[in-house]
Structure formats: C-alpha cells, structure tokens
Amino acid sequence: MVRNDWFTRRELGGTGRWCVPRAAKGLGLGVVSRGMWRAGSMSAELGVGCALRAVNERVQQAVARRPRDLPAIQPRLVAVSKTKPADMVIEAYGHGQRTFGENYVQELLEKASNPKILSLCPEIKWHFIGHLQKQNVNKLMAVPNLFMLETVDSVKLADKVNSSWQKKGSPERLKVMVQINTSGEESKHGLPPSETIAIVEHINAKCPSLEFVGLMTIGSFGHDLSQGPNPDFQIEVGSTNVRIGSIIFGERDYSKKPTPDKCAADVKAPLEVAQEH
C-alpha cells in the first residue's frame, strides 16, 4: 500500500512543507522537486556566458553545503530556452552548456531541427519539460537529440511514448521522469502521490524502451512564495537536475552584449530543481 504522505523539509534537516515522498524514498527512487530562486531577477544587460558562470558558481556553493551522507552527484544544469532564438542556444552551447529544456513540442522540434544548431551543437541534449498530450508524442519522438522527457503523468502516455520510441529504432532508451502533483491543485498536471509506485513499476516492467530516472514533483506555488524557502535547499538535499530559464537568457527583449563589470556571481532569479538516480 502506498502511503499518501511526504517527508517534510524539516524532517530532512531543512524548513518548509514538503520534499520527498515516503513511498518513493522507500523504493530508493530519485526525486524531482520543483522550486524557485526568487530573491531577484537577472538584468537584461547580463550576457549568456556571464549568467551561466554565475549560475554554476551558485550551484557549486549549494553542493558544497550538502550533508556528507548524500550521494556526491554533480547537478545537471538544464537551460530552459523556450521563446528564445536558435542563436542564443548556440551562444550558450559555445560557453559550455550542453543540456537545454523546452516546454512546447512544436517549438522544440523546430529549434532542434535548426541547421545551425545541428551543425554547431553536435553534443546538445534536449529535455522536454512541458505537458505532453498523446497526439503530440510522435512529433516529440522525432526531435533530433531528444534526451529526456520529464513529464510522464499516466500509464497510457508512458505506453504511447514507449511504442513511438521503439518505432524510431533508437539504440538508447529514452530517459523519463514521472510527474507527481503534490499540491493537489487542479490547475497543475501530474499524478496524485498515491499512484506513484504503480506507474513506476509499469514503466520498469512494461516499457522496455524507456529508462525511469526520477520523479518531477510540483509543490504549491503560493506556499513557496509566502514562506520564502531557502533558495538552495533542494540542491543541498541532493537535487541533481536544475532547470533555469530567464536568469540565463533574459527577458524576451534581451539583446544587449554583457560588460565585464556586470558579471556578478550572486545573481539570483527563478529556477527549478530536481533529483534523479
């Protein structure tokens, strides 16, 4: 029987309302938690390379504060490039960034198929982080260099993705995360916590073309906003997948070149964090 309750941050040595599902922890599963760095925003004048350095420095600082009993896994930075042009992706790639996230299937397909990106970014890895409808699965599976789907939220979707990936004939299994709605809000996608074990077991047993790597959990946005959680907490308790958008790429009108004196290592802006095994 799955227990529909969660370890709180306080139980794990932090503060706040939720962190790791007890059922998942009992299975030794990785956990993807969605949080925010809210204490400011990136200046539109800050460049991509400078922002990447600032983000990576802050991530490393959070990693250094982890308890010694946690696995020493280096967090992966996923640069969320939605609405941004191919040239900005190429610029970030030139500064060493390899993993990028997109929310919309059509935008991801067009961007990943861009001739310049295909030519100049041979090691790029794409994560799909938006809600995926079953009618768009085949289109998503056609994305060049698709590396991970972070939002599997039903057995039917898992089966559809597995079948489509099989037909593609890829030698590698597609990495997937299961999306769990921990806040119970109808406006958010994801399975209820009570269904976690069932879908994970289904993927492992019935979807040979998929590799389950973790859970993506969505907490209460209003709660985070009002309680002001430790911005680095999720990384400190073992998160290994950090999704950041505007702090790297700026707002939609971002176009100015950076200047050396604006590369502050303590820049803060929205981010999402996760953990996987």
Domains in the chain and their CATH numbers? 30-274 (3.20.20.10)
Give me the phi and psi of 176, to 5 degrees please. -135, 150
How many residues does the structure list for the chain? 277
Global model pTM greater than 0.85: no
Matching residue, tokens 């308890």? 67
Q: Hey, how many other C-beta atoms are within 10 angstroms of the C-beta on 106?
A: 11
* Predicted pLDDT at 277: 43
The residues with which 178 forms a beta bridge, in sequence order, are 152, 215
Look-up of token digits 């799909």: 128
Q: Which residues of 236-261 are buried (b: 16+ CB within 10 A; e: fewer)?
A: bbbbbbbbbbbbbbbeeebeeeeeee
> pLDDT by residue (tens digit) across 216-274?
875 554 433 222 333 455 666 566 778 888 888 887 443 443 343 344 333 333 334 45
pLDDT of 236 reads 60
Greatest alpha-carbon pair distance for the chain in Å reads 57
| Mean of pLDDT values over 110-118 | 98
Give the torsion sign (CA, 189, 151, 78, 76).
Answer: positive
Scanning the structure block, which residue is given the tokens 């946005």? 221
Q: Which of 244, 251, 255 is nearest to 56 (CA)?
A: 244
**Extended strands (E) in 57-163:** 76-80, 99-102, 125-128, 146-152
